[in-house]
């Protein structure tokens, strides 16, 4: 297991992050240190922040997605993605940016199977308050209807009647090299990564 699924570091800009399945990460699925005008589209980010801090005075995990530095330009456009949050608490962070970060969100599906309240933005707002800021106006909190069970660690394919499909998410083709699993032991290498 890795701490971060996709890491955009040191000014990564003008790229498209698309068609990825990222799951079982320790601290967050997608981390952008800083950068401009990146487009995050048609990805599944599942089972992030599953590690507890090793020490009581350590900061908490970063949530599902994170931007580390506010800048005077759009950091990213986040659209047509699925965030499948499995933190079993009363509240859990989906998106926690640096204060003043400029980013755009729309047409995404967010879900937590334990009915935890999902929190967004620097102020850690509820979804309804987040939408009042103009973000995620066409997005939903809804079960994405994956084909697997609630704690699956596989390819996260959605059913045809999924709300994500109605919002434009397109299933990815499962590569023949894919190896499912929920291993969290950093010492065991199970070739969980598919590169192309």
Residue 85's pLDDT is what?
A: 93
Q: What is the pLDDT of residues 37-77, one digit of tens each?
A: 999 999 999 988 766 666 666 666 678 999 999 999 999 99
H or E segment at 3? none
Q: What is the pLDDT of residues 159-186, one digit of tens each?
A: 999 999 999 999 998 888 877 777 655 4
Determine whether 118 is exposed, middle or buried from the number of CB atoms within 10 Å of its CB (0-12, 13-18, 19+): buried
Query: Where do the structural domains in the chain lie, given as residue ranges?
Result: 4-166
Q: Tell me the CA distances in angstroms from 69 to 8, 101, 121, 192, one per residue in order.
A: 12, 7, 13, 30
**Tokens at residue 17, please?**
């992050």
Closest CA to 33 of 76, 89, 1: 76
The average pLDDT across 73-88 equals: 95
Residues whose CB is less than 8 angstroms from the CB of residue 36 and which lie 6 or more positions away in sequence, other chains included:
11, 13, 14, 71, 73, 74, 75
Residues above pLDDT 70, as percent of the chain: 83
| 191 pLDDT above the threshold of 50 | no
Give the DSSP letter string of 38-79: EEEES-EEES---SPPSSTTSPPP--SEEE----SSEEEEEE
Residue 193's pLDDT is what?
A: 46
Residue 148's pLDDT is what?
A: 75
CA within 13 Å, CB half, 47: 19
Give the angle subtended at the CA of 157 by the CAs of 155 and 148, to the nearest 5°: 75
Q: What is the pLDDT of residues 112-136, one digit of tens each?
A: 999 999 999 999 999 999 999 999 9
């Amino acid at each position: 297991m890795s701490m971060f699924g996709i890491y955009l570091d040191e000014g990564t800009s003008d790229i498209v992050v698309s068609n990825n399945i990222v799951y079982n990460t320790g601290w967050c699925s997608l981390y952008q240190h800083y950068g401009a005008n990146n487009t995050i589209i048609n990805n599944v980010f599942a089972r992030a922040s599953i590690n507890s801090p090793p020490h009581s005075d350590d900061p908490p995990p970063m949530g599902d997605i994170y931007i580390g530095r506010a800048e005077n330009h759009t950091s990213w456009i986040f659209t047509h993605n699925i965030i499948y949050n499995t933190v079993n608490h009363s509240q859990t962070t989906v998106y926690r940016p640096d204060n003043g970060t400029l980013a755009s969100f729309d047409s995404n599906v967010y879900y937590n199977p334990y009915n935890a309240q999902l929190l967004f933005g620097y102020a850690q707002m509820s979804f309804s308050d987040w939408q009042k800021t103009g973000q995620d106006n066409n997005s939903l909190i809804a079960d994405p209807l994956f084909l697997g069970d609630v704690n699956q660690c596989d390819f996260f394919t959605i059913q045809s009647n999924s709300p994500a499909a109605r919002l434009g998410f397109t299933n990815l083709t499962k590569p023949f090299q894919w190896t499912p699993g929920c291993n969290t032991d950093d010492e065991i290498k199970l070739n969980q990564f598919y590169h192309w």
